[in-house]
Structure 1
Amino acid sequence: MHDKTQQVLEWAVSEVGVPGIVAEVSNPDGTTWFGTAGVADLTTGAQRVPGELVPIGSGDKAFIAAVILTLEAEGRLDIEDPVSTWLPGVLDTGGYDGTEITIRHLLSNTGGLFSTGLAPELVARYTSRSAFARHRFDAWTRQDLLRLAVSQPPVGRPGERFVYSNGGFAVCVALIEQVTGNTYAQEVERTLFQPLGLTSSYVRPEGETTFPGPHPRAYSTQFYKDGVDPAGVTPENWESMVEEPGLAPLDVTEFDTSWEPGNIVSTTGDMLRLISALAGGSLLPPAQHRKMWTTVSTEGANWLPHTRYGLGAFELDPAATGGIPVRGVAGSYWGHMFGALATPDGERALAFHTNTEAKSWELLFELARTGLAG
Structure 2
Amino acid sequence: MTHTEIQNALDRAVAEHGVPGIVAEVRDGDETWFGTAGVADLATGAKRVPGENLHTGSSGKAFTAAAMLALEAEGRLSIDDTVERHLPGVLTNGYDGNKITIRHLLSNSSGMFATGLAPEASHRYATRSGFAEHHLDVWTKEDLLKLAVSQPPVFEPGAAFTYSNGGFYVAGAIIEKVTGNSYADEVHRTIVEPLGLSSTRVRGRHESDYAEPHPRFYSSQFLKDGVDPASVTPENWESLIEDPGMAPLDVTVFNTSLGWSAGDVVSTTGDMTRFVGALASGALLPEEQHREMWTTISTEGGYWMPYARYGLGVFEFDREITNGMVLRGVGGSLWGSYICTVSSEDGRHVVSLHTNTEWKTWDIVFDVVKAEFAKGL
Is 1:65 paired with 2:45? Answer: no
1:162-211: CA deviations, max 9, x gaps? Answer: 00000100111110010001111111111101110100111111211001
CA distance in 1, matches of 2:32, 2:50: 12
Paired residue type of 2:8: Q
Query: Any unmatched runs of 5+ in structure 2?
Result: none
Contact persistence 2:139–2:205 (CA under 8 A) = no
Counterpart for residue 252 of structure 1: 251
CA distance in 2, matches of 1:106, 1:373: 34
Aligned residue identity for 2:219: S
Q: What is the 5 A alignment of 1:179-258?
A: 179-258=178-257
CA deviation profile, 1:209-235 (whole Å, cap 9, x unmatched): 001221000111100011111111110
- Equivalent residue, structure 2, for 1:302: 303
C-alpha separation between the residues in 1 aligned to 2:205 and 2:334?
Answer: 19
Letter matched to residue 313 of structure 1? V
Q: Which amino acid counterpart does residue 199 of structure 2 have in structure 1?
A: S
Q: Which residue of 2 aligns with 1:36?
A: 36
Structure 1 counterpart of 2:56, one-letter code? I
Where 2:33 maps in the other structure, the secondary structure is strand
Equivalent AA in structure 2 for residue 282 of structure 1: A
Instruction: Give the superposition deviation at 1:323.
Output: 5.4
Which amino acid letter does the alignment assign opposite residue 267 of structure 1?
T
| Aligned: 1:55 with 2:55 | yes
The C-alpha deviation readout for 1:35-64, integer Å capped at 9, x for no partner, is: 000000000000000000000000000000
Instruction: Name the structure 2 match of 1:27.
Output: 28
Shift of 1:16: 0.8
**Alignment check: 8 A CA contact 2:308 2:318 kept:** yes
Distance between the aligned counterparts of 1:316 and 1:250, measured in 2?
A: 33
TM-score by length of 2: 0.97
SS at match of 1:42: coil
Structure 1 moving runs of 4+ over 4 Å: none
SS in 2 for 1:212: coil
- Conservation of the 8 A alpha-carbon contact between 1:38 and 1:47: yes
Q: Distance in 1 between matches of 2:281 and 2:4?
A: 26
Structure 1 vs Structure 2 CA RMSD? 1.0
Letter in structure 2 aligned against 1:67: A
- In structure 1, stretches of 5+ residues that fail to align are none
CA distance in 2, matches of 1:319, 1:244: 36
The aligned runs of 1:255-270 (5 Å cut-off) are 255-262=254-261, 263-270=264-271
For residue 88 of structure 2, what is the aligned residue in structure 1? 88
SS at match of 1:332: strand
SS in 2 for 1:163: coil
- The CA deviation at 1:319 is 3.8
Asked if 2 retains the 8 angstrom alpha-carbon contact of 1:220 and 1:357, the reply is yes
Q: What is the identity, as a one-letter code, of the residue corresponding to 2:160?
A: R
Q: Deviations over 1:318-366 (max 9, x none)?
A: 3445654211100111101111110111121011110001111111111
Give, as a single letter, the amino acid of the residue that structure 1 aligns with 2:33. W
- The 1-side partners of 2:227 and 2:322 are apart by 37
Distance 2:278 2:326 in 1: 16
Query: In structure 2, what residue type is equivalent to 1:119?
Result: A
| Distance in structure 2 (CA, Å) of the matches to 1:242 and 1:330 | 22
Secondary structure (helix, strand or coil) at the match of 1:105 reads helix
SS of equivalent to 2:284: coil
Counterpart in 2 of 1:359?
360
Letter in 2 for 1:272: T
Equivalent residue for 1:331? 332
Which amino acid in the other structure matches residue 119 of structure 2? P
Q: How far 1:368 sits from its partner (Å)? A: 1.2
2:207 and 2:127 map into 1 onto residues whose CA distance is: 23
Q: How does 1:56-205 map to 2 (within 5 A)?
A: 56-91=56-91, 93-205=92-204
Measure the CA separation in 2 of the matches of 1:237 and 1:119: 14
Q: Is the CA contact (8 Å cut-off) linking 1:146 and 1:170 kept in structure 2? A: yes
1:286 and 2:287 aligned: yes
Supply the distance in 2 between the matched residues of 1:295 and 1:235 (Cα, whole angstroms): 23
How much identity, in percent, do the aligned residues show? Answer: 60
Check 1:213–1:165 CA distance in 2 against 1; reply closer, same or farther (3 A cut).
same
1:11 equivalenced with 2:12 (yes/no): yes
Q: Does the Cα contact within 8 Å between 1:336 and 1:357 map onto a contact in 2?
A: yes
* AA aligned opposite 1:170: Y
* Structure 2 counterpart of 1:158, one-letter code: P
C-alpha distance in structure 1 between counterparts of 2:324 and 2:237, whole Å: 32
Q: CA deviation at 1:372?
A: 2.9
Aligned mates of 2:312, 2:284 — CA distance in 1: 15
Q: Deviations over 1:284-340 (max 9, x none)?
A: 000000000000000111211111000000011234456542111001111011111
Cα 1:320–1:226 change in 2 (3 A) is farther
Contact 1:326/1:368 (<8 A) preserved: no
Distance 1:178 1:26, change over 3 A: same
